[in-house]
Every structure is written in structure tokens, then in C-alpha cells.
A and B are shown apart, each in its own frame.
Chain A
Amino acid sequence: QLQLQESGSGLVKPSQTLSLTCAVSGGSISSGGYSYNWIRQPPGKGLEWIGYFHHSGNTYYNPSLKSRVTIFLDRSKNHFSLKLSSVTAADTAAYYCARGSEIVGYGLDVWGQGTTVTVSS
């Protein structure tokens, strides 16, 4: 069964770049028909979709974050990553990675447990 696990820096200074990785186990990230997503949840707020890497090779981002976000795959390591530049306190959140599957339309059927990132000097 596919499992996802987020990792990365838990504390990032303002104006720096947030970097997170989602390790994929129990399956190959190179399999077709999937998208690889990042979602976040600021403290006390709801879920916010950040973006996804589609199996076609295209990436799609939340328009409000597009200028600062990059999502990419590392097929050799079977993981995908998120980079968010020029962070501020507003980027403090729990960050989740999730897989989208064409089998469930645009639903996200496998999620990581999430990792907390705090932006503070």
C-alpha cells in the first residue's frame, strides 16, 4: 500500500526558502495516472491547496502562491519536493503531501501525516 512521508526544515527564517520532501513508499512515483500534490493548513485555519506535479510533466499552482512555488519530482529517489521562496509568518502551517489518482477523478486518495513548518527569526 502506498505511503507518503513528509520531511524537511521545521523552522525557516523570514525571506528564506522553505524546502520539504515527500518520500513515496509502496509504489513508484514514475507510474502513470497520478499527480503529486502539496496542501497546507495554517494554525486555526482550513486547508489550502498549494499545487501539483501532473504525470504529464506539467505543474499547476495556486495562483496566490504561483510566483513563489516550485514542485518537482526526483524519480531516482522516489520522492517529490516543494520549494516556497520568500517566506513570511503567513507561511507558518502544517504541510501535507498527497497523491491524486485518475481512478478517483481529482480526488486525493493518499496523504502524508503532515509536517509543521514555522517561519520565525
Chain B
Amino acid sequence: QSALTQPASVSGSPGQSITISCTGTSSDVAVYNSVSWYQHHPGKAPKLMIYDVSERPSGVSNRFSGSKSGNTASLTISGLQADDEAHYYCTSYTSRSTLVFGGGTKLTVL
């Protein structure tokens, strides 16, 4: 299975909004509403930010939102804050009952 495709990097200024895309195939993102997003600060455990395309776990800020269109899912972070600077990864359930990660996107807050 091939990794989902994410941009290597995105950036934005504090207070702005950014969107990270996650492109899959007809075996994963396109056919399952089982896309999740993780925030990963270096040296720490990844943190679940979004599941089932657009659902937020308890405790996650509503500045984080998710959506999907066709084979591309997206994570939007509004009102950027310095602490949002991290790597972000998408995952999807697949037709093989496996999970597949995206390559990861480094978010820089300018």
C-alpha cells in the first residue's frame, strides 16, 4: 500500500488559517470515512486531533477541523498559535483492513 500524499510543509502567521491536504486512492480515503489526523511534536507521542474525517476527540480545540472530498481529506487549523507548530499526519482505513499514514506535513508558524 502506498502512503497517502501530503505536502511536505505549510506555513502561516499567528491568527491565520491553514489547510493541509491528504490525498489517497479508491482503496482508502475515497471509500471510507475513517480518516484521522495526528499532531506530532518532536520527542512526544503523537496526538489524535480528528477522527472519522471531521470529528474531534474530547479536549481538542475547535480551531481544528476536518473535511473530505472524493479521495482528498483536509485538515484546517484556524487562529494559528505558536504551539500549533508541529508535524501533522493523516491516516486512513483501507480495503485490506489495514491503516495507512500520510508522509507528514511540517507546519511552521511564522
Q: Give A contacts to B, CB under 8 Å.
A: 37, 39, 46-49, 51-52, 60-64, 96, 98, 104-109, 111-114
B40 touches A104 (CB 8 A): no
Contacts of B99 in A (CB 8 A): 37, 49, 52, 106
Residue of B nearest to A54 (CB): B97
B48 touches A114 (CB 8 A): no
Inter-chain residue pair count (beta carbon < 8 A): 78
B48 touches A49 (CB 8 A): no
Contacts of A106 in B (CB 8 A): 34, 36, 51, 91, 93, 99
Q: Given the known A-B contacts A60-B96, A106-B36, are A46 and B102 also in contact in the complex, defined by CB atoms under 8 Å?
A: yes
Contacts of A64 in B (CB 8 A): 1
A106–B33 CA distance with the chains assembled, in angstroms: 10
Residue of A nearest to B46 (CB): A111
Contact among B33, B98, B101 for A60, CB-based, below 8 A: B98
For the complex of A and B, list the 9 residue pairs with the smallest distance between their C-beta atoms, beginning with the closest: A107-B51, A46-B104, A111-B45, A105-B52, A107-B36, A104-B51, A106-B34, A106-B93, A49-B99
A47–B40 CA distance with the chains assembled, in angstroms: 10
Distance between B57 CB and nearest chain A CB, rounded to angstroms: 6
Contact among B36, B45, B55, B98 for A61, CB-based, below 8 A: B98
A62 touches B1 (CB 8 A): yes
A106–B97 CA distance with the chains assembled, in angstroms: 10
Instruction: Please tell me if B12 contacts chain A, counting CB pairs below 8 Å.
Output: no
Contacts of A46 in B (CB 8 A): 3, 87, 89, 101-104
Q: Given the known A-B contacts A104-B52, A107-B57, are A114 and B45 also in contact in the complex, defined by CB atoms under 8 Å?
A: yes
